Amino acid sequence: MRRKLAAGNWKMNGTREDLAQIDAMLQAHGACRCDLLICPPATLVQAACDRARGSTLMIGGQDCHDQPQGAHTGDISADMLADAGARAVILGHSERRQNHGERNETVRAKTAQAWQAGLMAVVCVGETEADRDAANTLDIVGGQLAGSIPDAATGANLVVAYEPVWAIGTGRVASLDQIGEVHDFIRGRLERRFGTGVGRSVRLLYGGSVKPDNAAQIFGVSNVDGALVGGASLTARDFSPIVAALDAST
């Protein structure tokens, strides 16, 4: 059985005072049956790891470079994240692909670096509104899967997050049928490429305006193993009901 995962992406939000939200999550979900991951901005990773030490809460980064070191001003390597205590990293998020021009090849190289550093990679895939309207969703997602994931994937080092770009931060949510179609498709592609054992062991998250009031329905969809949550993960008040809904679905 795949262990469910609730992951929070704080994006470019948070200062040291917001670490109190991690304390609140630890207090509320110390006995949670699902895995928890919070990815704060890079400035808070080490402090967050110190806060979460000895607990089941994982701390991760939001990106890493595709090289282990070098003259890359302002960038962070996977080894640096691991050294700070991180256990995972989000890669290929649509905001990185759109705002920084990241291609599948770059995401693939970053994922390889993450694995080399011992980090779990949360690789994001998803279509734009234009892709959806043109009925190209599965072609786009299939291409991102093939191009963004290296060959050495396992259920321990890889999580795939499906985030339809048109549903991120817009308040729009893909229908349950749309979510199920894409998640079933991703599962099939992973099984075909990596074999049934590995393909079935990789956790698939849904991301795209997941809220406390829709989480339970989303978690009931085929092959949805949890969520990658943006704005609703910034406070324990908003994130905790989502975690509770996932915990109840286990």
pLDDT along the chain (250 residues), means of 10: 95 97 94 95 98 94 98 98 98 96 98 98 96 96 98 98 88 89 98 98 94 94 97 96 95
The residue range of the domain holding 10 is 5-248
Q: What's residue 206's pLDDT?
A: 97
Relative orientation angle of helices 137-148 and 104-116, to the nearest 10 degrees? 40
Residues 122, 90 contacting (CB under 8 angstroms): yes
Q: What's residue 167's pLDDT?
A: 87
Q: Where do the H-state alpha helices sit in the chain?
A: 20-28, 45-52, 78-84, 94-99, 104-116, 129-133, 137-148, 176-194, 196-201, 215-219, 236-248
Burial of 71 (0-12, 13-18, 19+ CB in 10 A): exposed
Q: What's residue 65's pLDDT?
A: 98
Q: Does 29 qualify as catalytic in the annotation?
A: no
Q: What's residue 43's pLDDT?
A: 98
Q: What's residue 168's pLDDT?
A: 80
Regarding pTM above 0.85, the answer is yes
Q: What's residue 31's pLDDT?
A: 87
Q: What CATH number corresponds to the domain at position 235?
A: 3.20.20.70
User: Which of these is catalytic: 93, 102, 127, 183?
Assistant: 93
Residue burial 170-194, b: 16+ Cβ < 10 Å; e: rest: eeebbeeebbbbbbebbbebbbeeb
Q: What's residue 126's pLDDT?
A: 97
Position 67: which residue type? Q
d(C-alpha 102, C-alpha 159), whole Å: 19
Number of domains in the chain: 1
d(C-alpha 248, C-alpha 250), whole Å: 6
Q: What one-character-per-residue DSSP string does 40-51 give? A: --GGGHHHHHHH
Q: Does 181 qualify as catalytic in the annotation?
A: no
User: Which of these is catalytic: 95, 102, 127, 163?
Assistant: 163
CA nearest neighbour of 242 among 227, 220, 221: 227
Q: What's residue 209's pLDDT?
A: 84
